[in-house]
Structure 1
Amino acid sequence: MPRVTDRQQQTNALLDAFVVHLLAKLEADAFVNDSDSDSDSDSDNSDLGFDDDPIAEGLIESIEQLEISESFLMITTTVFPDIFRSYVQVTPECFDALVGSVQNHPVFHNNSNCQQMPVEDQVAIALYRFEHYGNAASTMKITLWAGVSYGTVKNITVRVMTAICDPRFQAMTMPWSTPAEIERAKAWVEGNSCAAWRDGWLMVDGTFVPLFQQPHHFGNTYFDQKSNYSMNVQLINRPDLTIADYGIGLPGSQHDATAWSQTQLPSKHEHLLRPGEFVWADSAYPLKSWCQAPYKECIFHIVFSHFHDFLSIIQP
């Protein structure tokens, strides 16, 4: 269902009140016309102007004020789910969950008489900016789209990033997998491989999030192996693609093994993994009893077998 903002609810209530008042006025006018039907007056009673109706004028003025204060942002992102998703790249349900997770963060509250704009508006503006790239993500473009000031866009971006990067947000929104979820993941691994590998119910890999340009501070450290400026993001997920943990904040020049060390598993694997459980990884990650890198082993055996064949040929 499309989201309905508080302003929209207030507008709908005022419109309902206006319609009820209009019907009452028409009914009263009809009663007056019936009572005067014996007269020969030719006056036109079809004028429905509200110049002398303070109630109607007040309702219309209130609706106009609400519509003016309703930013273009919320008008275009709360009508239909498809339109909403095209602007912020999440479903309305996901958006509501995200707002509920960050709305109590101290960064969105202050003791000033000038209150901040609603948290849902701030999150929507930030997501719209994150969804765009290059010039389309410029502060001026976001300002014109959202109907807010230049400084407000910058402050909103900082607030939302502060709330999302807070470890409390990660702990609240991404708790560790439940025993039932772990068992389903193991069953999938066993069904698609073999019983000996069923305890490897997690996978880890890194990805680069490209940046539009070189960052101002320590920009060279963001230059990755693909000759782009980016950030290294580590994702640990189950076979059903549900993310179980993640690591963010390191520049693109950092090796996956280094970025991986910033996540929970390397430091808390004794508490998070049961005996015998492990994580699947590629050759960029260290080989541990709880972290298996099958590609590294496969490459090693292939190279070793070719090297052994080569030795058998050159040796007499």
Structure 2
Amino acid sequence: MPKLSSRKNWIGQLQKQKHQLEDESMDDWLDMLVFQEWPSIGLILAEDNEVMTLMFEWLFSEADEVGDLLQRVINSRYISSRIKDLSHEEYSLGHLLSLSPKNLQQVVRTTREGFLGICNLIKNSNIFHNNSTCAQLDICQQLALTLERLGMNGTRTSVGRLARLYCISRGGVVMASGWVIEAIYQIGGNYLRWPNLEERQEISSYMAGEGFPGCIGFLDGTTFPLYQRPGLDGKVFFDCKSRY
């Protein structure tokens, strides 16, 4: 069953009160206050304060007064003030870079030098430069956000946590991650390539001496934990830390 918002609930209750006042005499109205099946106007507006409840009952004892209040609620999109979150302009990248090497590496999965080096490599990517009137999050902040997200287990809760940490929307977290991955992919060919025939023979010869005949390459480094075992070739994702 869908849950009504506070505003919609107020509107429904006020409409009931207004109709009751219009249809019933004052005596019937007083009887209804005692035997009613729905909250009175005072309980709607001040449920936890007995004095304020009585005051609202007295103030809104006429149908016209309840009608005026009902119209004000209908014309108001929100019945309470909204709490403004911090914007990403108020988030301090300097605070991130001032973390100790150990804490920074836990966040961005690399050293300070490595992090800034990647920032410099991707900062000129066209993915970060468009004609939009909405300014993007700083590129280094987008990179930090993406690296930290890759270090999580991939559940939806990670998006909400990062949105609160970096003071942006949940959609912004997803978009920034995609932009950074695309920017890194664009320059990937400059740093990752398949070895040629001569290089494969050299690597294979060396690895055979280490007990891995026919091996022409291997990977090592930071792993990105997955939420669950992949359905396709899941066993090859199992690492030395018993994670996928």
- Whichever structure has more helix as a proportion of its residues is 2
- Whichever structure has more strand as a proportion of its residues is 1
Give the TM-score category using the shorter length.
Answer: 0.3 to 0.5
**More relative contact order in 1 or in 2 (CA 8 Å, sep 6+)?**
2
